[in-house]
Amino acid sequence: MATFWLDVLDETIRACAAHGRTDLAHELQHRRAQLLDPRLRVLVVGAPKQGKSQLVNALLNAPACPVGDDLTTTVPTVVEYADEPSGVQATDPVAHQVVGVPRQLLRAGLVLVDMPPLGRAGPADALLATADAVLLVSDAGTGLSAGEVEFLRYAVQRCPTVILALTKIDLAPRWRQVAERTRMRLAQAGLNTPVVPVSAALRLRAAGTDDVALNAESGFPELVGRLQREVSTKAQRLAPHTAAVLTATAIESLVAPLVAEHATPPAEHTTAALQLRDLQHRHDGLRRHASRWQSALADDISDLVSDIEYDLRDRTRRVLRTVDEFFDVADPALAWDSFVPWLEENLRYAGQANFAWLVQRSHWIATRIAADFAGYRPEVLPESTFWPAADAFGGVAELERPALGEFTLGQKVFTGLRGSYGGLVMFGLLTSVAGLPLINLVSLGAGALFGSKSLRDEGSSRLLRRQSAAKAAVQRHVEDFFLKFSKDCRDVARQVHRTLRDHFLTLAEDLQEEIADAARLAKDTADRAAVEQDRRRQELQREFDGLVALRHKTRLLTTAATAGVAA
């Protein structure tokens, strides 16, 4: 037992150093040295004017500490054994006085430190760390205040041996009730601090008159007995108990960050997984998208082709109607030469307009498809799709002059004569009845009339024939033109279709490859993070196990020490 606590303490110090808590290690070293010191250092603390200095003086029956009406104790006073009464001022670590008094109680190893009131002496931490035991002094007239209970709770963690002294019981009429209430309050707070009611005034008076009964009434024998026992059994009781508490606290503070780290899931893992999931999602989306745009493209192109054809048809029909109207009136034989350029020009114009529209529509289709891809990457459309092959629109044959025929002079004479024959004869016969010769003026005149009429008829029927021939010729030509042009347009459209499809296919493939690469990378990172996390977890577990073993030892120490203390 004697060395078990020392071993546990040493091991804890090592563990603190190993975990990087050099501050804890230092403190435990310091306390270790103090616990090995056979002297018992008791801190006397409390609120102002509770009677601390008077208590110390009464314990020793010597005016070691300054006592006065106003606030008197301003620096700590350390009272220890000396063969001759002495007093010195010291400044390490804070300004304090050291008083030497030749008393049996002190010779056994007791050192009393009378502190200035709580709140004045600087940080309580440092002071509690230098004490083996704490004597909290409170007035029996007013009982424990909330602040004092808080202080007790705090002190017990740093310095587990605490005694509460209720002073001035010679003046407080109900001190027994106050003591009982204080005990209950401490029990409720979970503190098992012994409560000792004392009266310094009675004790000093008893010491002055050697009155044993009065001394007993002062309550000091119990306090002295307790202190003596603590001194004599320091190595067996106080040291293990204190060591147990200190190591337990230290281990708890070492374990806490480990537990915290264990509990929180590492952030890296989750981000890598999220990334991977996101990439896979995009990959699937891309694949679904492919079929969609291909069918959309095909639909658009077929729409385009039918629309273009209709448009061309419409335009050529309009040209034909104009031609018909023109040739209803004009004479092709005369107007043909001027007509042909007009026709060529109109046809050319129709073709150009139609083609322009084709180009525009194709652009629009391509842009729409590309917009779907823009979600993945902003894309530049290939310009080369839209210029047709150089020979696309050549090769429409020239308009041929139709066989218009001529109305020569001989034919005219013949026709006139033939026509006039009937008239001549008719009117000649009529006039011969009247006694005129067959060929006379009337009949000649009639013959001329009839002849000119048939000449005219013949002319107009020839004209009509010419006109219809011209119309037919034009119609044929326009038909040819339409056929050729529409075929060329369809070719262009198909070419556009193919080019766009190929282009977007390659694009989609590139994207998929990109995503696959990124997914591979993300998976690598996630794997590596998982490996790292496992490694870290194992490390944590190892450290944790080490600390658990240490804690177990501490628990053993605690149970043994508590049993010793309770004894």
Partner 1 sequence: MRATLADRAWYLLTTALRMYRDHADAADWMRHQIDRFEGALRIAVTGPACSGKSTLINALVGDEVAPVGTGFVWYQDGPTPRATLYPPGEAERELPVTRVERGLRVEVPGWLPADADPGEIVVDWPARALRHAVLIDTPAADLDGGTMARVRADADAVVYATPTVAEADLLPLRPGPGSSPGAMVDTILVLSRADEVGGSRIDALSGARVIARRRDRGIAVRGRWQTVVAVSGLLAHTARTLSEAEYAALAALAAQPGADLAGHLLSVDRFTGQAFPVPVDAPTRAALLDRLGLFGVRLASTLIRTDGASQDTLPGLLLQHSGLIELRDAVRELFLDRRQVLKARSALRGLRMAVQVWPHPDAGELSAGIEQALASGHELRELALLASLRAGRTRLSAERTDEARRLIGGYGDDIGTRLGAPEYLDPTRAWTLTEESLHRWRGDAENGTLTEDQRRAARTVVRSCEGLLTQLAHTDRR
Smallest gap from Cβ 217 to partner 1, in A, equals: 6
Query: Does the footprint of partner 1 cover residue 431 (CB under 8 A)?
Result: no
In angstroms, what is the minimal distance from the CB of 210 to partner 1? Answer: 14
Phi, psi of 239 (to 5 degrees): -65, -50
* 143 vs 351 by CB, closer to partner 1: 143
SS3 label, residue 69: coil
Tokens of 448: 């001329």
Minimum separation from the CB atom of position 65 to partner 1 (A):
14
Question: Of the candidates 10, 11, 37, 170, which one interacts with partner 1 according to CB under 8 A?
Answer: 170
**177 binds partner 1, rule: CB under 8 A:** no
Residue with smaller CB distance to partner 1, 168 or 361: 168
Choose which of 23, 33, 69, 566 interacts with partner 1 (CB under 8 A): 69
Report, in Å, the least distance between residue 75 CB and partner 1. Answer: 16
* Interface with partner 1, residue 459, by CB under 8 A: no
Task: Examine residue 173 and tell whether it contacts partner 1 (CB under 8 A).
Answer: yes
d(CA 242, CA 35) in angstroms, rounded, equals 8
HSE-CB of 87 using CA atoms within 13 angstroms: 9
Please report how close the Cβ of residue 173 comes to partner 1 at its closest, in angstroms.
4
Determine which residue in the list 41, 168, 551, 553 makes contact with partner 1, applying CB under 8 A.
168
Rounded (5°) CA angle 427-431-434: 160
Strands 86-90 and 96-101: antiparallel
Does residue 120 touch partner 1 according to CB under 8 A? yes
Binds partner 1 (CB under 8 A): choice among 201, 392, 449, 560: 201
Q: Which residues contact 280 (CB under 8 A, 6 or more apart)?
A: 519
From the CB of 115, what's the least distance to partner 1, in Å? 14
* Structure token pair of residue 539: 């490390």
Neighbouring C-alpha atoms within 13 Å toward the C-beta of 224: 20
DSSP helix/strand/coil, 88? strand
Phi, psi for 8 (deg, rounded to 5)? -60, -40
Minimum distance between the CB of residue 526 and partner 1, rounded to whole angstroms?
A: 52
Give the whole-angstrom CA distance, residue 567 versus residue 563. 6
Does position 145 interact with partner 1 (CB under 8 A)? The reply is: yes
Question: Which residue do the tokens 């106050």 mark?
Answer: 178
Angle at 408 between CA 406 and CA 412, to 5 degrees: 120
Among residues 73, 97, 193, 199, which is the contact residue for partner 1, using CB under 8 A? 199
Nearest to partner 1 of 69, 406 (CB atom) = 69
Give backbone dihedrals phi and psi of 132, rounded to 5 degrees, phi first.
-90, -35
Token couple for 32: 């270790």
DSSP lists the bridge partners of residue 28 as none
Residue from 18, 171, 184, 397 touching partner 1 (CB under 8 A): that is: 171
Distances from the Cα of 328 to the Cαs of 155, 453, 474, in angstroms?
Answer: 125, 22, 13
Stretch that binds partner 1, among 156-164, 167-175, 269-277, 407-415 (CB under 8 A): 167-175
- With vertex at residue 236, the alpha carbon angle to CA 234 and CA 240, rounded to the nearest 5 degrees, is 90
CB of 207 to partner 1, least distance (A): 13
Q: Counting contacts by CB under 8 A, is residue 217 touching partner 1?
A: yes
Give yes or no for residue 489 binding partner 1 (CB under 8 A): no
Q: Is 200 an interacting residue with respect to partner 1 (CB under 8 A)?
A: yes
| 48 or 102: CB nearest partner 1 | 48
Could you say whether residue 71 binds partner 1 (CB under 8 A)?
Answer: yes
User: Is 402 near partner 1 (CB under 8 A)?
Assistant: no
Listed ranges 196-204, 443-451, 531-539, 542-550: which one lies at the site for partner 1 (CB under 8 A) = 196-204
Give strand ranges (E) for 457-511.
none
Stretch that binds partner 1, among 69-77, 375-383, 394-402, 514-522 (CB under 8 A): 69-77
CB of 149 to partner 1, least distance (A): 13
Euclidean distance between CA atoms 494 and 257, whole angstroms? 71
* Binding flag, residue 63, partner 1 (CB under 8 A): no
Site membership for partner 1, residue 48 (CB under 8 A): yes
SS3 assignment for 150-210: HHHHHHHHHCCCEEEEEECCCCCCCHHHHHHHHHHHHHHCCCCCCEEECCHHHHHHHHHHC
Give the footprint of partner 1 on this chain (CB under 8 A): 47-49, 51, 54, 68-71, 117-120, 141-143, 145, 168-173, 175, 199-202, 205, 214, 217
